[in-house]
Structure 1
Amino acid sequence: MAGRSHVRQHDRFAELTAGSGVFYEARSAWELLSSGESRSLTLHFSRDLLPLRTAEITEGCARSMDPAAPAMQMLSGYLDRLFDLADDLTASQRLDAGHAAIDLLAMALRDVTPALPGDGGPAHVLLDMMLTHVRDHLADPRLHAEELARRHHVSVRHAQTLFERIGTTPGAYLREQRLLAARAMLSDPRYAGVGISDVGAAVGFLNLRTFERAFRRQFGMTPGGWRREHLHFGPTPGTEPPKTSPG
């Protein structure tokens, strides 16, 4: 919004000027440097809400988004307007508005993310079908790596080869998506009255102890502990006010 800054992540270095944007993921090491004073508007959200593949998300980090690009103009204009109107929106409207902002960000990132090796072709289509199937069937306790392969008429080994393209395995991806979905539910006021075991069951964990162990291993605390620390009812989801940073 004002001033100059730089963001460094994944061995990339992006320069920021007024009107431009940059994307970074907090779970990987990153660095923000400002020369003089700078003002920015920041959008925070769980990475599982971004409709991009894991490799695309990583490749989109620390790449400057041109303020003149149409997608970036739409995103920045929307965030500016959202910040002005947020206090007058209901909680559900703020949630919907946050999701709309994330979709606009995905569109802007596609302008700056380079094509990934292996994109295109039947293997890419099949992988996308399997990723979508996982996300759409998290609550199915029968879904595991072998069942995912069977439903798509491929061998387990072939499924593993496909998932290597995005740096993971079918089982690890399924577990990660289930835990991310559970974490999102635990942070969402709409599910504040849902028991921990029911949250686990909603994402495919029928055994509470298994769910709690997996959640702690992934996020460093129990599901109940996460809910106590991250369940908020007040501010606009996904936005925080402009702030001034010293150089």
Structure 2
Amino acid sequence: MKKKIIGMLFCAVFAGFAQASVDGSGTLSLWHMDNLTTVDFYAGTPGTTLETRSAVADDDSIVTGRNHDLAFGSVNTGGSTYSPALSADGLGHTGTAGDRALVFSGAQTAVAPGAWPSIAPQNFKIDFYMNVATAKVATLAMTVNTFEIRQQQNAVTGLNELIFYIYDTGPTKNIVSTSFSLNEWDHVEAWVLNGSAHIALNGVEANPLGVSVGTLQNPLAGHERLVLGSRWDSSPSKGRFYDGMLDEVKIVPEPATMILLGLGLAFLRRKN
């Protein structure tokens, strides 16, 4: 009976890997990348100039009225020239009809004004699917002064790696994921939980299993927004622009899924 319970627990944790993410009471932001809309976006830092931008709506079907919509383009005034685009139908991570993804071709970025609070949560998780087209140094997701997920090519092995940078009150910490292949969908999970930072690729956590971190720094004033597809200053010379697709991006301020996983591992240890 205990084996069945443990099996069900792990199935519940990992069952959503190849499916669309769903909104929940603890979700901070969720973008499916399937449909376009438009939003009012205040450009500049801090945002003062009102612009109408193409966007992907936040799925707030459970937490209604959250409206953390993902605006296309850079944070700068007139930054819509850096807008990404949705893929053709069926090119999202599931490959099914109706599933699209957000396409970055090396000069685009997207910004979510309400996706991140001005005070960094000390526990959080960001979860998404990526399909990297070009091997280079590029930023997939970041919030200034808090965290960054960056791809790069290992100078020694030549392998493509994903790095989770955490900016705490001490020196910057980072974890390097297992290697990934170009032009394939991969599931990325990066989280900080109770002073320990982690990153997993397709359900396999990178070694070392957790890096000790101190108090996460708060985002710089005016920079509390989540940026996808480039670093914050997305000018051509500084942008670290991403070339590839992103799908099903979700942020949870308290990564309960990982707490559940830890409970399951504790059950296993007790059984053994």
Is TM-score (shorter-chain normalized) higher than 0.5?
no
Structure number with larger C-alpha Rg? 1
Normalised-by-shorter TM-score class:
under 0.3
**Alignment TM-score, normalising by the size of structure 2:** 0.23
**Alignment TM-score, normalising by the size of structure 1:** 0.25
Structure number with higher helix proportion: 1
